[in-house]
Amino acid sequence: MIRRSSEKETVRKPAPFNGVGEITVRSILNGDPEMEHKGRVFGHTTVYPGSEIGFHIHNGDSETYYILSGRGRYNDNGTIVEVGAGDVTYCAPGEGHGLACIGEEPVEMIALILYA
């Protein structure tokens, strides 16, 4: 399978989990069946300046962020850490996280959610 960039579904929406502002999500793979029933998200996400994905708990799945560009404030179960290009975050099942864009440039990242 090959998916051209023009074929990716792109959705700009309010930041999830009682977040602030807006994000854009571009699907890289569209969950099941493309992810072989092993996960539900493999996407390129943009968090705009002043926007924040609200803190949320992962039950039954994990989430990894690979930060491509921008600067963010990552909430790792209540521990706040600054992240930037090249950093990877991991939220295990039963744990929680959130991410705020803190610079003038959007945070661009790859997000991967896999089932536990």
Q: Read off the pLDDT of residues 61-96 as tens digits, 9 standing for 90 and up.
A: 999 999 999 999 999 999 999 999 999 999 999 999
* CA 13 centroid distance within chain: 13
Residues 87/114, Cβ–Cβ less than 8 Å? no
Q: What is the mean pLDDT of residues 10-23?
A: 97
Confidence tier at 56 by pLDDT (50, 70, 90): very high
Reply yes or no on whether the pLDDT at 1 is more than 90.
no
User: What is the pLDDT, as a whole number, of residue 5?
Assistant: 81
SS3 5: helix
User: What is the pLDDT, as a whole number, of residue 79?
Assistant: 98
Average pLDDT, the chain: 96
User: What is the pLDDT, as a whole number, of residue 115?
Assistant: 97
Confidence tier at 103 by pLDDT (50, 70, 90): very high
